[in-house]
Amino acid sequence: MTECVFCKIVARQIPATVVFEDEAVLAFMDIGQVNPGHALVACKAHVENVYALDDAQAAAVARAVARIARGIREAFAAEGLSVYQANGKAAGQTVMHYHVHLVPRAEGDGMNLTWPVKNPPRAKLEEYAARIRARLA
């Protein structure tokens, strides 16, 4: 993907401050730091979103996320960590290359996520679950 900024970072055409790298994953500091230590974990291969990940890519990213999260906690004495990943414009994805944000957190740091709970009845939850199960391969 010649126009993808993350592909350019992986190819070393754009500089990045690398935290971790293996054969499948590149992790680097987010230039838009929310809090000190805010890192991104990205697939090296161009994969637009979670729907396009194969199982090996998903596993590689998950392993890297857990490892880097532990490093962030120790390096920054983080009280907490937000792990954020968005798919599609409606979800807030701005770079269309699969990546996960790891944001160290502290009480009162100003980062908030609104969670508009709907609380549907159990029967509706059962219906939703059945719809998903019917499509799992």
What single letter denotes the amino acid at residue 72?
I
pLDDT tens digit sequence for 22-41: 999 999 999 999 999 999 99
Would you give the DSSP letter of residue 100? E
- Its pTM stands at 0.93
Question: 67 by DSSP, 3-state: which?
Answer: helix
The CA distance from 71 to 39, in Å, is: 11
pLDDT tens digit sequence for 71-80: 999 999 999 9
- pLDDT grade, residue 113 (50/70/90)? confident
Which domains are present in the chain? 5-112 (3.30.428.10)
Question: 54 by DSSP, 3-state: which?
Answer: coil
